[in-house]
Amino acid sequence: MRVPGPGESLAGRGMKLRRYRVAAGAVLLLALALRLATHVGIRTFEPVFTAHSAHEILEGRHEPQKHMPGAVNHARFGMTLPTALAAAVGGWNDAACTLWPLLCGMLTLALALVLGPATFGPRASLAAGALLAALPADVLWSTQLYSDVPMALFWSGAAFAFWRAIDLRCRYLALLAGFLVGLSWMLREPGPILLVVLLAWAAPSRAWRLWSFAAAAAAAVFLAECVYYIAAAGDPFYRLGIMTRGIHARYMATEYYPTAGSVWSRVFLDLPSMMFNPWDPAFAYTAGLPILAAGSALAMGRKGWADEPYRRLLLWAMIVFVAFAALPLSVFPFRPAMVLLVRTLVAFTVPLAFLAGSALSRVRWGLPAAAAAALVGAALTIGLAGPHRDAQAESRLALRVLDAVADPVIVTDDLFSANGHRANFIAFSRGFDPRVAVYSLKDADPSTRDGVYVLVNTLDLARTAPVYPPGRLDLVLAPPPSWERLYRKDFSAPGDPAGHHAAVYRVRSP
C-alpha cells in the first residue's frame, strides 16, 4: 500500500476507471435503497427534542436552555439548523426531519468511494464502501435524527482533507480540515477529538504548521459560537456548561455511572464488549467489522505500522476508541464524558472499514468476501430495523383517534409525554401545534377535568410505574364507567409474557 503520484490512474492500480465508477455507483444506489427500505424516523426522545428546537428556530423563539431535558440537543446548531430548513420545505414529519442524517450518511459513503482510491486503491475502496453501505449501525442511524452519522461525515471529510494537506503540504486543505472539525463540534461535543488524530498524523511528517492551521480553523468556529452565546446568554462557554454543570453532567453522575465500579467497567469492558463480543446485543450492529479490522491489523503486524496510510488508519481508530472509552467529564472523581450507546459505534466505522477493505484488497477473493459481508450486514439490518421502527407504535396508532380533535388536552404516561415536556411525541405528531396540551399522569389527575383525553399504554405504564402518585395507575387501568372509551387494542411485547393494551378515553363526569 502506498500513496500514488497525482497523475497515476486507477487503471494502473488493478481496475479500469469506468468499471470502478459503475461498481461505486451500484454500491451507492444499493446503500440508498437499503436505507429507504429500513427507514426508522422519529421514534425516541432525543430526535423529538432536536425537532422541537428546530421548530423554535423557525418560529423565532429559540433561546438557550441549560437544565431542561434536551438541552444538549437544543444547543447543537449543526443538527437543528439543517432540520429546520428541511422541515420548512417538507413539514414536520418523519421524512423531512430525518433528511439531514440520511444525506450525511450517503455523503460519507460517497467520500469514501470518491477519495479513497487515490490513497488505498480502487479494490480497497470498493470493499470498504460495500461494508459501510450495509453496516447496520450506519444504515439504521442514517434515518434517525441523531448527530452520530452527521459527525462521522464531517470527521471523514476533515480526515481526508488533512491527509491530502500533509501529502501536498497545502495549508488551504489544512484550513478546510480544521473548519470541518469545528463544524463537527456544532453537531456533537466529541467533535474536537479528531484534532488529536490529525496531530498524530502530523507528527511523523513534522507538519506542525499545517496542524496549527487546522486547529486555528476549528477554534474559529468555536469562537463564533462563543460570540453567539455572549449575546444570547451572557456566557461564552454556555454550551460547555451544559456538559460540565448542566443536565448532561447530572445525568452522567447520577444515572449512568454513579459508582467507581461502573466507571471502570465503562473504560475497560463496555466499549470493547460492544465491538468484539458476539454475545453483546450491540455486536450485531457492526456485523463483525471491528473483528475484521483488528484481524487485518494483526495480520499486517509491523509491516502495517511502517506503511504510512495504514498507520494513519490505525491511529484514527485507536485514538477515537480510547477517547470514547475514557475521556473524562470530571477527573476527581473520574466520570466519563459520553454515554456508550449502539449509535456511538458509528464514529469508528470509516477507519475500520478501510482497515478491513485494505486487507481484503490484498487477496484474490477479497471483493467477493466484501460483497458477502455486505449481504450479511443487510440481512442483520433488516432484522434489527423492526424494533427501531416499532418503538411507540401502539401509542402512535391510538393517537390517530384524536387526529380530528383540534385542540385536545391529552394526559398520558410519563414516557410518551416526555415528562410533560413541551417537546414530546404527541406534540411532534401535531407539528408542535400550540393548541395541543400534553401532560404526564405523574403531574395531572385526569379525573379533575371534564373533556380531557387519556391515552393509556399499559406497557409504558408498567415501565414508569414508580413515578405516579398512589391510585393514579388504578384510575387509568380500570377507569370509571362514565369515561367514554374511543379506542382499544390488545398487544404483546417481545420477551414479556403479560398481555398489554393501548386505549384512548374521554373523561366524562359521572
* Chain length of the chain: 510
Residues 6+ apart with CB under 8 A from 164: 170, 173
pLDDT at 10: 42
Residues 6+ apart with CB under 8 A from 8: none
Percent above pLDDT 70 for the chain: 91
The average pLDDT across 262-290 equals 87
pLDDT at 45: 85
How do beta strands 484-493 and 328-330 pair? unpaired
Give the CA angle between residues 492, 497, 502 to the nearest 5°: 30
Q: Does 263 score more than 70 pLDDT?
A: no
253 vs 177, residue with greater confidence: 177
The average pLDDT across 9-26 equals 74
- Which of 116-125, 147-156, 234-243 is the least confident region? 234-243
The average pLDDT across 405-431 equals 90
* DSSP 8-state assignment for residue 134: T
The average pLDDT across 426-454 equals 92
CA distance 61 to 282: 38
| Residue 402 CA to its chain's centroid (Å) | 31
Q: Does 3 score more than 60 pLDDT?
A: no
CA distance 83 to 24: 29
CB 356 within 8 A of CB 377: no
Q: How confident is the model at residue 426 (pLDDT cuts 50, 70, 90)?
A: very high
pTM of the model: 0.91
The domain spans of the chain are 393-506
